[in-house]
Amino acid sequence: MFIAEVLSPSTEAFDRGQKFSVYRQLESLQTYWLIDSQKMSVDCFNRKDNNERLLHGYENADEMIRIPSLDVTWPLQMLYEEALST
């Protein structure tokens, strides 16, 4: 399972804390993204085989972000394409 949260200033602390704590209990959750709505930044948590989570932060537009469990990859700037064009 893949879950993506778009963070807002009013909910960011809850999404990063209590909500993520609940999500970590889901056995099927493989990838969890926290997408910043104020700047180009995504924190990606991927579950490893030993049940640990690997965090990778993306902030450069040309970086390729990936959802390993879905075998999907694309440039970070695609997530922000419409937001940046306004």
Query: Residue 54, Cα to own-chain centre: how many angstroms?
Result: 12
> For 27-49, b where at least 16 C-beta lie within 10 A, e where not — what string?
eebbbbbbbbeeebbbbbbbbee
pLDDT one-digit tens code per residue, 4-60: 999 999 999 999 999 999 998 898 999 999 999 999 999 999 998 877 888 999 999
Q: What is the pTM of this model?
A: 0.86
At residue 39, the 3 state secondary structure works out as coil
List the CATH number of the domain containing 6: 3.90.1570.10
For residue 52, give its domain range.
2-85
Domain count within the chain:
1
